[in-house]
Amino acid sequence: MKLHQSKVEHLNQITAYDAESVQVNEVRHAGSLLILPDYLQPWRPASFAELTADDFSQLLDYQPELVLLGTGAAIQFPHPQLYAALSAKRIGVDVMGTGALCRTFNVLVAEDRRVLALVLHR
């Protein structure tokens, strides 16, 4: 699905997504991805089943105020113990489908929020 982009210059915006990838600033990225307003990189877990507490605790280095976890077409909720390090620092974790993640990320970036999006496709 193609998304309509807000006018947010010099920041990451998700411009499209499908079952296998997301496009950030018109560049397609397949596989798991970590996206911040000003940075993006591949993310280690290839699937929901591979998530570990260490995957979430490493996110503290990015100092997000909110973490969005997109789990593909079907929403899958990780055990709260996996993201306990974030919760202890009062960083919210919202789990949603990839489409909702893409739309929510763009809105929060436009509001100048320090949001971190994690995209899983499997």
pLDDT value of residue 2: 57
Q: Please compute the mean of the pLDDT values over residues 73-101 and round it to a whole number.
A: 97
Q: Please compute the mean of the pLDDT values over residues 96-108 and round it to a whole number.
A: 97
DSSP state of 6: P
pTM score over 0.85: yes
pLDDT value of residue 82: 98
DSSP state of 87: H
Q: Which tens digits make up the pLDDT trace of 7-24? A: 567 899 999 999 899 999
Per-residue pLDDT for 54 more than 70?
yes
Longest CA–CA span in the chain (Å) reads 38
Rounded to whole angstroms, the Cα distance separating 8 from 96 reads 23
Per-residue pLDDT for 121 more than 90?
no
Task: Tell which CATH classification among 3.20.20.10, 3.40.1230.10, 1.10.150.240, 3.40.640.10 matches the domain 14-119.
Answer: 3.40.1230.10
Q: Distance of CA 24 to CAs 33, 35, 69, Å?
A: 10, 9, 16
pLDDT value of residue 6: 55
pLDDT value of residue 1: 59
Per-residue pLDDT for 47 more than 80?
yes
